């Protein structure tokens, strides 16, 4: 029994904090996520484009980006009925912001009707925890676009380091 509990806890910990972040780095682990997702969902073309300096964002931002992208891809697979998903991740040195955009060409959804799922709530809470902004754009039949903007200026990074 204790060996089983250990295995379950170990699996949960790995899911909460992907070990690949340490070994591979953020960009590589996100590319691997896309490859794995694409293999499971060959009917939907998924592309990831990255731009800017993404190696020194810190553990909190890395885990947040990983989780948000994971949730977005889960939502696309479950609800979107999309043929294409485009993901862009950019660290903009001029605005000192990190911008993640996940856009699909699926069936979309009404943003005015209440939703029961926890996925978008979790994405919003993760974004707010980093003093970021979440923007949802969608309407039924028009796909979905999720844009996450996180400040990465040095003063934000120092504040986050103190909290860890």
- Angle in degrees, CA 49, 14, 47, rounded to 5: 15
Q: Please state, rounded to an integer, the average pLDDT across all residues of the chain.
A: 87
- Give tens-digit pLDDT for 104-146: 999 998 887 766 667 888 999 999 999 999 999 998 888 999 9
Residue 164 has pLDDT above 60, yes or no: no
- Beta strand 144-151 with 97-104: parallel, antiparallel or unpaired? antiparallel
Averaged pLDDT, 14-37: 82
* pTM score: 0.84
- Closest by CA position to 152, among listed 74, 100, 81, 87: 100
What's the confidence (pLDDT) of residue 109? 87
For the cut 70, the answer to whether the pLDDT of residue 12 exceeds it is no
pLDDT of 85? 98
pLDDT of residue 129: 93
Calculate what percentage of the chain has a pLDDT beyond 90.
62
């Amino acid at each position: 029994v204790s060996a089983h509990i250990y295995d379950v806890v170990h699996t949960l910990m790995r899911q909460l904090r992907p070990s690949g972040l340490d070994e591979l780095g953020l960009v590589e682990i996100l590319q691997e996520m896309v490859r794995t997702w694409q293999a499971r969902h060959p009917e939907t073309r998924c592309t990831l484009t990255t731009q800017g300096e993404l190696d020194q964002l810190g553990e909190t931002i890395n885990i947040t980006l990983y989780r948000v992208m994971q949730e977005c891809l889960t939502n696309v697979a479950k609800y979107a009925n999309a043929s294409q998903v485009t993901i862009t991740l950019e660290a903009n040195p001029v605005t000192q912001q990190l911008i993640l955009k996940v856009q699909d060409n699926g069936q979309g959804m009404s943003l005015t009707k209440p939703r029961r799922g926890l996925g978008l709530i979790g994405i919003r809470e993760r974004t707010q925890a980093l003093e970021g902004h979440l923007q949802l754009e969608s309407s039924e039949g028009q796909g979905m676009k999720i844009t996450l903007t996180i400040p990465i200026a040095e003063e934000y990074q120092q504040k986050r380091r103190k909290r860890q």
